[in-house]
């Protein structure tokens, strides 16, 4: 089994993180599709949260908060991607 060189491993993944932060990795098309899918999942969580609150279920408020945070995050990411065009 090959030994892991921690220094090279860390350097490689730090470069990927820098590219992701600048919007170069993944490419804009993949990032846009991922944000749209994330937005859809956020809407589903919001609907589940509303239904949970109506039924007085414990998970309702948590699902509503998670869905709202997901939609806000993906919305900001979509605006960031559009701004770099």
Confidence band for 29, pLDDT divided at 50, 70 and 90: confident
Tens of pLDDT, residues 37-59 = 999 999 999 999 999 999 988 88
Residue 49: the pLDDT is: 94
Percent of the chain with pLDDT over 70: 92
Predicted pLDDT of residue 84? 65
Radius of gyration from C-alpha coordinates of the chain: 18
Domain ranges of the chain: 27-83
Interacting residues of 46 by C-beta distance below 8 A, sequence separation 6+: 63, 64, 67, 68, 71
> Would you tell me how many other CB atoms lie within 10 Å of the CB of residue 54?
9
Read off the pTM. Answer: 0.70
């Amino acid at each position: 089994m090959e030994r892991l060189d921690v220094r090279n491993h860390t350097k490689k993944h730090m470069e990927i993180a820098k590219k992701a932060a600048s919007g170069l990795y993944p490419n804009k098309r993949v990032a846009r599709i991922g944000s749209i899918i994330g937005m859809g999942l956020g809407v589903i969580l919001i609907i589940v949260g509303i239904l949970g609150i109506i039924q007085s279920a414990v998970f309702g408020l948590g699902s509503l908060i998670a869905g709202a945070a997901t939609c806000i995050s993906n919305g900001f990411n979509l605006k960031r991607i559009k701004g770099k065009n």
